[in-house]
Chains A and B, each alone.
Chain A
Amino acid sequence: MSLANINYSLLREAEQFLFVEARLADENRYEDWESLWADDGVYWVPAENAEIDPEKEMSIIYDNRSRISVRIRQFLSGKRYAADPEIKVRRVVSNFELLEEDGDEVLVGCNAIYFVSTESDDEVWGSRNEFRLRQVGDGFELARKNVFLVNAHKALPNLAFLI
Chain B
Amino acid sequence: MNDLSSIENWDDHIFSDGVDGRLYNDQHVFEQELKKIWYTTWVYVGHESEIPNTNDFVMKSLGLEPIIMTRSKDGNVNLLINTCTHRGNKLCSKSKGNQGSFTCPYHSWTFKNDGKLMGQAYPDGFKNADKSALGLKRVPRIASYGGFIFGSFAEEGPTLEEYLGGATELIDRLLANSPSGEIEVTTGYLKHKVRGNWKLLVENETDGYHPGFVHASVFMVSNSRINELYGDKSSSLSRDYGNGHTEIDLRPEFRKRGEELSWFGTNKERLPDYVEQMKAAHGDEKAREIMIDGTPHAMIFPNLFIAEIQMFVIEPISVSETVQHVTAIQFKGSPDINRRLRQQTMGSVGPAGFLLADDSVMYERTHQGLQTKTGYRTYTGRGNHRERLDEDGYLVGDSTDDLPSRGIWKHYKSLMEA
Contacts and interface: CB of A to CB of B under 8 A. Distances in A.
Interface stretch (A10-18, A77-85, A99-107, A132-140): A77-85
Nearest to B325: A155
Interface of B: 95, 186-195, 214, 216-218, 220-222, 323, 326-328, 339, 342-343, 345-347, 350-352, 354, 357-358, 360-362, 364-365, 368
Q: Which of A59, A71, A77, A158 has the most CB of B within 10 A?
A: A158
> Which 4 A-B pairs rank lowest in CB-CB distance, beginning with the nearest?
A82-B357, A155-B191, A79-B217, A159-B351
A60 interface: yes
Interface in A37-91: 45, 47-48, 52, 55-62, 67, 70-71, 73-74, 77-82
A5 B188 CA distance: 41
A160 B368 CA distance: 19
Contacts of A74: 217-218, 220-221, 354
Interface string A150-163: 00011111111000
Contacts of B186: 56
Contact of A73 (B221, B339, B364): B221
Contacts of A122: none
Nearest to A56: B187
Contacts of B216: 77, 79
A153 to B, nearest CB: 7
A82 B193 contact: no
Contact of B360 (A45, A78, A79, A158): A158
Interface string A115-139: 0000111000000000000000000
A157 B345 contact: no
Contact of B191 (A47, A79, A119, A158): A47
A58 B187 contact: yes
A92 B227 CA distance: 41
Interface of A: 45, 47-48, 52, 55-62, 67, 70-71, 73-74, 77-82, 119-121, 153-160
Given A58-B342, A61-B352, A82 B358 contact: yes
Given A48-B188, A77-B216, A120-B364, 15 more contacts: A47-B188, A58-B188, A58-B327, A73-B220, A73-B221, A77-B217, A77-B220, A82-B357, A82-B358, A119-B364, A119-B365, A155-B193, A158-B357, A160-B351, A160-B352
A52 B222 CA distance: 28
A55 B327 CA distance: 14
Contacts of A160: 351-352, 357, 361
Nearest to B221: A73
B219 to A, nearest CB: 9
Contacts of A47: 188-191, 350
B149 to A, nearest CB: 20
B32 to A, nearest CB: 25
Contact of A156 (B188, B345, B351): B351
A81 B342 contact: no
Nearest to A84: B361
Nearest to A71: B354
Given A155-B193, A155-B323, A156-B192, A58 B362 contact: no
A55 B328 CA distance: 12
Contacts of B218: 74
B221 A155 contact: no
A60 B350 contact: yes
B352 A81 contact: no
B296 to A, nearest CB: 21
B186 to A, nearest CB: 8
Most buried by A among B186, B217, B360: B217
Contacts of B342: 56, 58
Contacts of A45: 352
B263 to A, nearest CB: 21
A82 B361 contact: yes
B347 A67 contact: yes
A59 B346 CA distance: 6
B226 to A, nearest CB: 14
A156 B193 contact: yes
Contact of B220 (A52, A79, A119, A154): A79
A52 B188 contact: yes
Contacts of B358: 80-82
A3 B188 CA distance: 41
A110 to B, nearest CB: 21
Contacts of A81: 214, 217, 358, 361-362
Given A120-B195, A120-B364, A157-B194, A70 B188 contact: no
B354 A70 contact: yes
B352 A159 contact: yes
A89 to B, nearest CB: 14
A154 B195 contact: no
Contacts of B339: 55
A78 B217 CA distance: 8
